[in-house]
């Protein structure tokens, strides 16, 4: 066995290797992707609350089945000519309970928020807190303003990544092909 007298190189401090391309948020669609899963872990660590149960997602009972939900439902997006490559991106998805997802269905956000609030007995201020815990701008969601919502949430998710990595995401021309494969259809009813 050989021992070198040369000191081993030290690992660089956190955040000095690797990187995250901000455009990757537009292509992350498959929940099998490590980056996709990583964002959901970060959202849960930040304290994302369920739309219906109001509890932190991370604290929900293991029996409370979770879904990855389109924030602006698929059918609504199709009816408003939003391309699948946009509405299926991680920017338009968030973890919520199966129960909340089924209550949302394919309704416009302005409509499903009213229904959820009525069923869960939540006022506007509390629902706004819940939405903010998912890095969703409540005013944009209530206004059914997809483009403004998408831009604001993408910026918020990038800020979350920056805090976790200790450095800003850096734009590159590299696109990860496996994220382009399509959407996980079975995960979302709407």
- Tell me the two tokens of residue 56: 């932190």
CA 80 centroid distance within chain: 21
pTM of the model: 0.79
Question: CA-CA distance, 102 to 51, in Å (whole number)?
Answer: 11
Q: Would you state the pLDDT for residue 85?
A: 95
Backbone phi, psi, residue 70, to 5°: -70, 125
Please give the average pLDDT of every successive group of 10 residues along the chain, which has 190 residues. 49 54 85 85 90 83 76 97 96 91 91 94 96 97 98 96 81 53 48
Burial 41-56 (b: 16+ CB within 10 A, else e): ebbbeeebbbbbbeee
């Amino acid at each position: 066995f050989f021992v070198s007298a040369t000191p081993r190189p030290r690992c660089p401090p956190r955040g000095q290797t690797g990187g995250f391309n901000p455009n990757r948020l537009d292509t992350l669609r498959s929940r099998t992707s490590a980056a996709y899963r990583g964002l959901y872990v970060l959202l849960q660590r930040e304290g994302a609350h369920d739309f219906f149960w109001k509890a932190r997602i991370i604290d929900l009972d293991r029996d409370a089945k979770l879904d990855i939900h389109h924030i602006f439902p698929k059918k609504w997006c199709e009816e408003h000519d939003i391309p699948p490559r946009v509405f299926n991106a991680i920017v338009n998805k968030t973890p919520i309970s199966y129960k909340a997802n089924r209550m949302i269905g394919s309704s416009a956000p302005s409509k499903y928020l009213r229904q959820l609030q009525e069923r869960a007995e939540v006022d506007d201020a509390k629902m706004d807190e819940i939405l903010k815990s998912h890095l969703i701008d409540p005013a944009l969601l209530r206004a059914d303003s997809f483009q403004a919502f998408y831009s604001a949430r993408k910026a918020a998710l990038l800020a979350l990544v920056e805090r976790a990595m200790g450095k800003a995401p850096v734009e590159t021309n590299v696109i990860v092909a496996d994220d382009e494969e399509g959407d996980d259809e079975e995960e979302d009813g709407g």
